[in-house]
Amino acid sequence: MAGPTTATPPMRYLTAAFYLFVDLPDCAQFKAPLQVLCEAEQVKGLILLAPEGINSTISGPAQGVNAVLTWLRSQTPFARLQHKESWSDKAPFRRMRVRIKKEIVTMGVPGLRPASQAGRYVSAQDWNALIADPDVLLVDTRNDYEVELGSFTGAVNPGIQSFAQLPAWLAAQGLLDPAKPRKVAMFCTGGIRCEKSTALLRAQGLQEVYHLEGGILKYLETVAPEASRWQGECFVFDERVSVAHGVQTGNQQLCRCCRQPLPPGALESSHYEPGVSCPRCFSLTSETQKKGARERQRQWERAKAKAALRGSDGVAFAPAGQDAITGHG
């Protein structure tokens, strides 16, 4: 008789998200070594390099991801790099790319140096006391569709569709005028956008500028729900779509076309078609583009069905014509 067989446990994928503002004028020298290392370690995702620093989300076997992080920290510019971890039973990315960019998060304001100009960090534990001050203007630096899911009580929503629109909004509010100083507190998903936003304010001469260390994600991880000033859920740039207190997966679904959360009532809308469109983006694509999206969706569904028959982990992201972006916000 044949002996009992032991099933091979399914592979789990470690995802590491990290960024660091650091003066990196020779950023291109790191591109090839990182690409080779990631491919050798079976790590996939996206790494952005720019003269202002590094921004990335990568995923793969734990040993491989840790090897990439260890190599990065062995390089002088990235010695103080910190990262956030999460685990998945599915592969979040289909390929590995290392790209050189003008900015690791696009604001479009030349000459900013967030590595030295960013505002004062405020820990999650001290954030409530800061934003309870009536003299503090609390600004949500995220896009409108993110704010729609949740925000801090009393926060101002700039109503922007992209981060590059924030400088114009700040100027229109008079916040770039050093002759009219205010206390300003800013926050975003993981910290990267508010670091750059506070750097802009400080570059204009404002002094009392603060931002939430670790972003909303650190706050939701650290602060108990009964003490929280956060309302709703927080959009995240991965398969969870949104998270709530305790960084527990929320209740939102993602449009695979525009990569934004589905608005209320979307599933009942005639403008919703999985992988093709939702009420937010239906009018933004042509019929030719929709036909291409339908074909990509069909191919993805076939690949997913075959993977399920093979007992594979499959592919986490439906093919909307782009890879997942880095997840810090």
Catalytic residue (choose from 27, 188, 194, 278): 188
Q: Give the integer Cα–Cα distance in Å for 56 and 48.
A: 6
Model confidence at 226, pLDDT cuts 50, 70, 90, reads very high
Angle (nearest 5°) at CA 187 between 182 and 189 = 170
Ranges of each domain in the chain: 13-100, 114-232, 253-301
pLDDT tens across 235-291, in order? Answer: 987 777 888 888 888 888 878 788 788 888 888 888 888 888 888 888 888 989 888
- Taking CA atoms, 197 is separated from 62, 135, 176, 178, 235, in Å, by 33, 19, 11, 15, 19
- Fold of the domain built from segment(s) 13-100: Alpha-Beta Plaits (3.30.70)
Does 100 have pLDDT greater than 70? yes
In angstroms, how far is CA 6 from the centroid of its own chain?
39
Cβ contacts of residue 120 below 8 Å, gap of 6+? 209, 210, 211
pLDDT tens across 37-65, in order? Answer: 999 999 999 999 999 999 999 999 999 99
- Fold of the domain built from segment(s) 114-232: Oxidized Rhodanese; domain 1 (3.40.250)
The pLDDT > 90 percentage for the chain reads: 59
Most confident of 70-84, 238-252, 300-314: 70-84
pLDDT tens across 105-159, in order? Answer: 999 999 999 999 999 999 999 999 999 999 999 999 999 999 999 999 999 999 9
Instruction: Assign 3-class secondary structure to the chain.
Output: CCCCCCCCCCCCEEEEEEEEECCCCCHHHHHHHHHHHHHHCCCEEEEEEECCEEEEEEEECHHHHHHHHHHHHHCHHHCCCCEEEEEECCECCCCEEEEECCCCCCCCCCCCCHHHHCCEEECHHHHHHHHCCCCEEEEECCCHHHHCCEEECCCECCCCCCHHHHHHHHHHCCCCCCCCCCEEEEECCCCHHHHHHHHHHHHCCCCCEEEECCHHHHHHHHCCHHHCCEEECEECCCCCCEECHHHCECCCCECCCCCCECCCCHHHCCCCECCCECCCCHHHCCHHHHHHHHHHHHHHHHHHHHHHHHCCCCECCCCCCCCCCCCCC
Token pair recorded at residue 190: 């993981």
Range in 46-50, 307-311, 322-326 with the lowest mean pLDDT:
322-326
234 catalytic residue (yes or no)? no
